[in-house]
Amino acid sequence: MPIQNVLVVGGGITGSVLSLALAQRNVTVDLVEISPRWFGVGHGITLQGNALKALRSVGVLDRVLARAVPFDRMRLLAADGEAMTELSTPHTGGEDLPATAGALRSDLQNALCDAVRAHGVEVRLGLSVERFEQTADHVDVTFTDGSTGRYDLLVAADGIHSSMRAMIGITTVPRPVGMSIFRVVAERPAEMDCAEVYYGGPRYKAGYSPISPDRCYAYLLDENLDASLIGPRAPLALLRERGAGYGGTWGKIIGSLPDDTAVDYRWIESVLVDGPWHRGRATVIGDAAHACPPLIAQGAAMCAEDAVLLAELVTGEGPVEEALDAFMARRLPRVRMVLENSLRLAEWEINPGTPGADPARIMSETLHSLTAAA
């Protein structure tokens, strides 16, 4: 019998897109989000065409693009800001969509939250799964507030540090990649018309993207610094110190940030569940199953593609477990390719001068191969 109700755990990009895609196929969806408030943090995100295609398929693209900034190229610069070359970005979502759009994460998440609620999904905040048991036909869930529910399918979309992963019986854990990132949202200088990346400076790299008519997102990729710095309020002075040596527009942006700017600092991690993503009727998807360092800006695209395909396959006529097997068989080669290429780029950043290193080629080859349907 086709599935009728699904529990989605986690209301990030994956869980939100999945909830929408299922609700649009007349499945009853409960979404539980551990955070008591449901919103996107204010950082920027680069959405490639294949992410935009997934957002279009669940009906939120127009709202996202109303504030996002589309662009179809990336400029590579020297550390002093001198332009070296310009790369055109493949249209991974098809020629009728922008190659890339820079967006504020909060704009994206707000569009998703509003659409999820408008589609009648039961959203419960400040809640998680305490435990679950399953039979061949259903999953019985006890939530952290003591309430219970019976579902045809449980989907854990609770991110790279998923606690559901272990609860489902998957032992894979994330590992640090060996690089960290400082991120800020800043005023967008008038001259910024696409993403720019600075190579050859004192750190792994620096860069920025436009994310709204008046805002941009700037970052610095660095070695792993003291773990006590990790969080949304790293010292701006430290970002300035670590970024000294980068000029051009990047230097101007960082130099003119107000003192109270929220600087997010974190170590970059990756994970790949390289075996079945499900046990019976409980599965992980999105970052909980695979998360790559953000060097090709494909993480959210992989998540949104997962969500759209999973909804399509589990609402077919066959048994749920067969659909989950088919889902992973379709997704694993694609997410593995993105992950391995992102890790290779990270390795080249960490070990400059690696023979044969050619980041522009790997980025271009990866994006070109993603133009094939998910």
Ligand X SMILES: Cc1cc2nc3c(=O)[nH]c(=O)nc-3n(C[C@H](O)[C@H](O)[C@H](O)COP(=O)(O)OP(=O)(O)OC[C@H]3O[C@@H](n4cnc5c(N)ncnc54)[C@H](O)[C@@H]3O)c2cc1C
**Mapping DSSP to helix (H, G, I), strand (E, B) and coil, where does residue 56 land?**
helix
Cβ 263 to ligand X shortest distance, Å:
13
Q: At its nearest, how many Å lie between ligand X and the CB of residue 311? A: 15
Q: Is 9 helix (H, G, I), strand (E, B) or coil?
A: strand
Q: In terms of CB distance, is 239 or 247 closer to ligand X? A: 239
Contact between residue 155 and residue 279 where contact means Cβ atoms under 8 Å apart? no
Q: Cβ(250)–Cβ(81) under 8 Å?
A: yes
Instruction: Say how far apart CA 210 and CA 230 lie, in whole Å.
Output: 25
Please say whether the beta carbons of 338 and 367 come within 8 A.
no
Closest distance to ligand X from the beta carbon of 14 (Å)? 3
Residue 247 or 332 with smaller CB distance to ligand X: 332
Q: Of 313 and 367, which has the nearer Cβ to ligand X? A: 367
CA distances from 225 to 97, 175, 201, 265, 357 (A): 39, 16, 17, 9, 25
* Residue number, 247 or 328, with CB nearest to ligand X: 328
Lookup: tokens for 135 = 């039979």
Closest approach of ligand X to the CB of residue 90, in Å: 15
Helix axes 49-57, 299-314, angle to 10 degrees: 30
Biggest CA pair distance of the chain = 62
Q: Shortest Cβ distance from residue 219 to ligand X (Å)? A: 7
Q: Burial level of 365, CB count in 10 A (0-12/13-18/19+)?
A: middle
Q: Which parts of this chain interact with ligand X (CB under 6 A)? A: 9-15, 32-35, 45-46, 51, 128, 157-159, 163-164, 181, 286-287, 291, 294, 297-301, 303
Comparing CB distances to ligand X, the nearer of 109 and 247 is 109
For the CB of residue 293, give the shortest distance to ligand X in the complex, in Å: 8
The residue number with the shortest CB distance to ligand X is 12
User: Measuring CA to CA, which residue among 287, 285, 291, 372 is closest to residue 338?
Assistant: 291
Angstrom distance (rounded) from CA 174 to CA 352: 25
CB nearer to ligand X: pick between 33 and 152: 33
Judged by CB, which is closer to ligand X: 80, or 368? 368
Residue 307 Cβ vs ligand X, minimum distance, rounded to whole Å? 9
